[in-house]
Amino acid sequence: MDYSLILKNIAKHISLTEEEESYFTAHLQPLMIRRKQFLLHRGEICKYSAFVNMGCLRGYTIDADGFEHILSFAPPDWWIADMYSLISQQPGLLNIDAMEDSQVWLLSKANQEKLYIEVPKFERFFRIITEKSLVSYQQRTIDSLSLPAQERYLNFCKRYPSIIHSIPQKYVASYIGVTPEFLSKMRNDLLKQER
């Protein structure tokens, strides 16, 4: 696995010297995750932020009736973690698994804290990432409470254009809060409107 994608991701927000890049990459741990394999189970303490180099992960909960509720997807060039657990070091609320064979870079909470001290600009980088995550979750909550299903679907398409056609539709349905059958009908209706 090479570092080019993760370094480009970081360069969107902060500039690193070659020495700082080397210091950062020395703290990353590569991990291959097979399809349906878990990065994190609900109830475990999240010790890592994961950057997706290849593949796709999802973060979700399962309710008392056994229904999955997907909160986020992480295609290549995205970070994923159970933020509540990572920050509080309390047992997590999310399951995170691979939707396809995936390659990720793991950054431990301990190494992240070390980066803050040794390369202070990383504090800015992770603050920006955390703020974007907070804004995204808030917008998703508002959308779920106030928008009709069709608008939630269109927002999903804008947010995740790279995976809309490559992931099973049952996962899209779970994310926007409808049944797969309803999603199929809605997509057909949208296609008819476009003609």
- Domain positions in the chain: 4-119
Comparing 121 with 187, which gets the higher pLDDT?
121
Q: Is residue 193 over pLDDT 90?
A: no
**If you average pLDDT over every residue of the chain, what do you get?**
94
pTM of the entire structure? 0.93
Query: What mean pLDDT comes out for the span 126-134?
Result: 93
23 burial level (CB within 10 Å; 0-12, 13-18, 19+) = middle
Asked if residues 171 and 77 have their Cβ atoms less than 8 Å apart, the reply is no
Q: Is residue 56 over pLDDT 90?
A: yes
Query: What mean pLDDT comes out for the span 50-57?
Result: 97
DSSP 46: P
The CA R_g of the chain, rounded to the nearest whole Å, is 18
CATH 2.60.120.10 fits 4-119, yes or no: yes
What is the SS3 assignment for 34? coil
Position 195 scores a pLDDT of 74
